[in-house]
Structure 1
């Protein structure tokens, strides 16, 4: 009996010692240490991937340059590239990317950017497949710069990038109507302007031409992921019919989003008809309440988006002129049709270049 009691005492002592060690870990903020180390490891992995990507882009740049140089100086024909591809694949069978088609893409990649000292270093900061999409689908250097910067900033996947180009995000972003110049600080103004488009295409929504605001909202809720993708890819969904209680009255915001880069709440008001000036006053009310009751201390001022079926640009301009809250007015369409005339309405190239400088 005494031996059993002794063993129990030892066991109890071991358990107490283990609990003490756990308590010591908790006392020493072990959980915080673990989180910090895991974050550091992930950061190191990400930096390593970025380094590998930069080296690969630099390699493809050099190969493209060598092909161009040999063709110019030694009059190489197309057959040489085919031969080069076969020899490289034989020498490096475990490395993909040396097909004849890809070698020609390297040549095009180099030719596209070799005379642009601004873009040449920037192309190393996004993936090869992203670069190919931009080279093949964009028509001038300003448009390419826009998509390079936005891909780098917002982490667009290849499919998101293709979607943005096909829906003319470049043109629609540069033509957006906001009052951000007057209402946002210089630090985030350009970033905010580039986060809002003039028009959104919701061709993924299963809606008839005639629909109610509630039907529009429910259709969006059923397709939240493609909706956020069309909005730009950096929005998080916080809720629909977001309730605000003010002066013992209830008010509801159609959609409440959060922009991860701008670090601000974004209220979306859905309208199925044309824009009316009084919508701005209602949105100002929502934004004031969000800033006072919901916004965290380290977040930027809340932003409003009034999303209408149609708008008159002059009326929007007047309605926003005296507003003291950051608001943008955009339109939406259900059917995907691309208005080519947008290109003729773009700001002057120097204005576009200045705006893009704000995207880091």
Structure 2
């Protein structure tokens, strides 16, 4: 054993990684086959029902017969067969979504199908689930927190300040409103208390921010001239390959916050940014904001900055539904979620 010890660790690591890759590929293959099976069952039921007088009893009988014939296979309850029928009816007319639904599990598909009735919202959550590996519970939370709407309504200057090749990805990295109910903060709190609470719950914080961030540090020190400056939170966006500076504000957004963030980003790009990384992005997190004020404040800003609000729990006001971008704009934006 001593003769091969030098290279054994590397060999073992490579083989273990290969096994994990094979296991993942096998699971993906099984899932695709299962989704295809459920799709075909739903299609067959819909086709047979056309022009026929079959009622609910036919599905009940079908469930009993399938369970008798395949006793060791789950998934053939009457309720799930009805879900297969609904699944086919929901996506049979949408050629864009048909290949996407096979990329996520059946349980994830059921959640999206039940809770989202708009095809673009469904596409958003399917793509995000596939990209970030959301569990079923995380997916439910994201839908209930209205991540789709809050992402589309975000306020940034990315159209002017971010290179076109990764502009859509950058837009999807910032929401209009974040829900930090896990922080257990009272209505009145200081910026330091907010930061401390976030540091105690880093994982759920990163999940709410979008799930593709890594935590770099808090009170990140910048030395400029003879003075020191501190960024509240510094993250790294793995997909965009850029640093993300977060400035925490417990009050209403003020225009001067943009100037301070521009300063932070200029220093980060000059002193920390690696040659292969994209320009840094800033997110100003406030307790509240006036959208018109934000628009003017960002209008001539040259560094990429987003302004968002945070709260313990949130629901998107109904009147904002009418402010969502048009379907063509949304569809183009969703292409940024690979």
TM-score category, normalised to shorter length: over 0.9
**CA 1:116–1:199: 2 relative to 1, 3 Å:** same
Residue 327 of structure 1, aligned match among 299, 305, 311:
305
- Give the number of the structure whose residues are more often helix, by fraction: 1
| Counterpart-to-counterpart distance in 1, 2:161 and 2:9 | 41
* Mapped contact 2:248–2:286 kept (Cα < 8 A): yes
Matched, 1:54 2:41: no
Q: How far did 1:32 drift?
A: 5.7
Distance 1:207 1:43, change over 3 A: same
Task: Calculate the TM-score normalised by the size of structure 2.
Answer: 0.93
Aligned with 1:75 (options 41, 53, 60): 53
Matching residue of 1:212: 190
Whole-Å separation in 1 of the counterparts to 2:34 and 2:40: 10
Query: RMSD of the TM alignment (CA)?
Result: 1.9
Equivalent runs, 1:1-360 vs 2, <5 Å: 18=2, 22=5, 25=7, 35-360=13-338
User: Aligned equivalents of 1:34 and 1:293: distance in 2?
Assistant: 39
Task: Give me the whole-angstrom Cα distance separating, in 2, the residues matched to 1:92 and 1:248.
Answer: 76
> 2:146–2:315: 8 Å Cα contact kept in structure 1?
no
How many angstroms apart in 2 are the aligned matches of 1:298 and 1:247? 27
Residue 278 to residue 33, structure 1, CA distance change in 2 (3 Å): farther
Asked if structure 2 preserves the Cα contact closer than 8 Å seen for 1:154 and 1:233, the reply is: yes
Question: How far is the alpha carbon of 1:289 from its aligned partner?
Answer: 2.1
SS state at 1:305 partner: strand
1:141 deviates by 0.9
Unaligned runs of 5+ in 1: 1-14
Normalised by the length of structure 1, the TM-score is 0.88
Unaligned runs of 5+ in 2: none
CA distance in 1, matches of 2:11, 2:313: 51
Secondary structure (helix, strand or coil) at the match of 1:119 reads: coil
SS at match of 1:304: strand
1:239/1:257 contact within 8 Å kept: yes
Alignment partners' CA distance in 2, 1:186 and 1:38: 39
